[in-house]
Amino acid sequence: MKTTKELIIADITAKVEAKLASQKVELGLVDDIKSDVSANGKSADIARPLILQASTSLSKAYENLLNIKKRNEVIIKNSEVFKSKLKELGIEPTDQFQKNIVANLFVDKNIDAKIKAILTATSSLKNAEL
């Protein structure tokens, strides 16, 4: 049987050991958090220029799509004049290119959807800036 002194020492030792174990766990968590924060910083450093590059590419794509839209409008106008002239003269298209004009095959019918997609992507990308 243990003496009162031995029981007190054992109790204090158990409490100190439990406290030290708790502090080790807390310190381990701090180290884990510090490591993850550092890794996030490194990943952000890699992502930042990629986001900038993507933003620049989207901007260039947007400008080109606007150019296509402007030319589409001219193509549509000129195609209508061409079709009207053919009808007025009572003649048929003479080659495949002219047949394609009559069939409106040279107009990008999805240009507005493409422009909208680029604008949506650009907006989303701005929200992702680090």
pLDDT tens-digit readout, 9-55: 777 777 777 676 666 667 778 888 889 999 999 999 999 999 999 99
Q: How do residues 73-107 score in pLDDT, each as one tens digit? A: 999 999 999 999 999 999 999 999 999 999 999 99
**121's tokens:** 């992507």
d(C-alpha 129, C-alpha 74), whole Å: 38
Check: CB of residue 56 under 8 Å from CB of residue 126. Answer: no
